[in-house]
Amino acid sequence: MYGAILGDIIGSRFEFDRGGKTKKFELLTEEDCFTDDSVMTVAVADALMAAGVNASVDNIEKECIKAMKYWGRIYPNAGYGGRFWGWLFGGQEGAYGSYGNGSAMRVSAAGWLYDSVERTREVARATANVTHNHPEGLKGAECTAAVIYLARTGSTKEEIASYVEREFGYDFSETLDDMRRRHEHVESCMDSLPKALRSFFDGTSYEDTVRNAVSLGGDTDTLAAIAGAMAEGFYGVPQELKDRGDEFLESDMIGVIRRFEELNFEL
C-alpha cells in the first residue's frame, strides 16, 4: 500500500504540470500531502479486509461502497474528481461508467491479498465496478493489480510485459521522453496505464520508478500512485521511506496500513 500512497504524496506537488518534467527533484518536502489516491487506497484495503479473502464479488462490492463513502466523508477535501464527488456526496446512485484512472490508483491492496492471478483480477474488477464500470475503467484496475501480483510472486519484467500485452492489449512502447513531450493532463485509464507501465518497466528501484512517473507531468500524483504500486510489488518500499510517508498521514489511515501489512506477513 505504501507503494501507491508514497507515490501519491511525492507526486502531489507537481500535479497539473507544476513540475519541470524532470527526475531531479527533492523527493519529499513540506509542500507535499496525501490526496484522494491515498484515501481511496486505504478505503479499498479496509473494504477487502472487512470482506475477507474468500468473499463473493457481491460482498466485495458492498464493502467497497461502504468503505469509500466512509473514508471519503472523513477526508472530503482530498481532491476527488467531479463525478466521484457526486457519487460520494451527491445524489449519484450506483456506478457511472467512468474510465477515469481512479479505478487503478486505489486498487493496489487487491494485488497483495490473493493466491492466484485470476482471483486477483476478479477482486480488482469488483473494486472498480462500483463506480468505474466502463470496460477501460475495469481494465485499468485489473491490469494494475495483476502486475502487482505477478511482480510480488517472482515474475520478471519481461514476463509481466508480455502478460500485460497479451491479456490487456496496452501499448506501452512509447519512450518516457516521447511521453514527456507529447503529454497533456489526462485522467483516463487509457492514458495513465501505458505511462505507469513504462515508468515501472524502465525503473531501477521503487524510488526511480516514482521519479519516472512524476517526470511525465500531468496527473503526477495518480501516475506515481499506479507506477509506485507496481514497483512495490517488484522491489518493495524501503522502510526509511515508509517512515517518512507516515509523517504525512493521519493516524486512522496508518492504522489500516498497519493492519494490512500484518495480514500480508501471515500469508
Q: Nearest distance from residue 267's CB to Mg ion, in Å?
A: 29
Residues paired with residue 177 on neighbouring β-strands, in sequence order? none
Contact 139, 98 (CB under 8 A): no
Cα distances (Å, whole numbers) of residue 75 to 14, 78, 88, 144, 163? 21, 6, 11, 24, 36
Residue 78 Cβ vs Mg ion, minimum distance, rounded to whole Å: 7
Check: CB of residue 65 under 8 Å from CB of residue 44: no
Q: Identify which of residues 187 and 202 has a Cβ nearer to Mg ion in the complex.
A: 187
Q: How far is the CB of 106 from Mg ion (least distance, A)?
A: 10
Q: Which residues bind Mg ion (CB under 5 A)?
A: 35-37, 79, 221
What is the distance between the alpha carbons of residues 174 and 184, in angstroms, rounded to a whole number? 15
Which residue in the block uniquely carries the three cell numbers 490526496?
35
- Closest distance of CB 220 from Mg ion, Å: 9
Q: Least Å distance between CB 44 and Mg ion?
A: 15
* DSSP, res 94: S
Query: Measured from the CB atom, is 79 or 194 closer to Mg ion?
Result: 79
Question: Which CB atom, from 34 or from 170, has the smaller least distance to Mg ion?
Answer: 34
Cell of 118: 485470476
Q: Give residue for cell 527526475.
A: 23
Question: At closest approach, how far in Å is the CB of 175 from Mg ion?
Answer: 25
User: Judged by CB, which is closer to Mg ion: 37, or 61?
Assistant: 37
Strand (E) or helix (H) holding 36:
helix 36-51
Taking the complex as a whole, how short is the minimal distance between the CB of residue 142 and Mg ion, in angstroms?
A: 21
Indicate the residue whose CB is closest to Mg ion. Answer: 35
- Provide the 3-class DSSP secondary structure of residue 239: helix
Distant-in-sequence, close-in-space partners of 4: CB < 8 Å, separation ≥ 6? 37, 38, 41, 105, 106, 108, 225, 226, 228, 229, 232
Distance CA 66, CA 243 (A): 29
Measured from the CB atom, the residue of 16 and 52 that comes closer to Mg ion is 16
Determine the straight-line distance between the first and last CA of the chain, rounded to whole angstroms.
16
Whichever of 13 and 134 has its CB closer to Mg ion, that residue is 13
Between 33 and 50, whose beta carbon lies closer to Mg ion? 33
**CB of 199 closer than 8 Å to CB of 232:** no
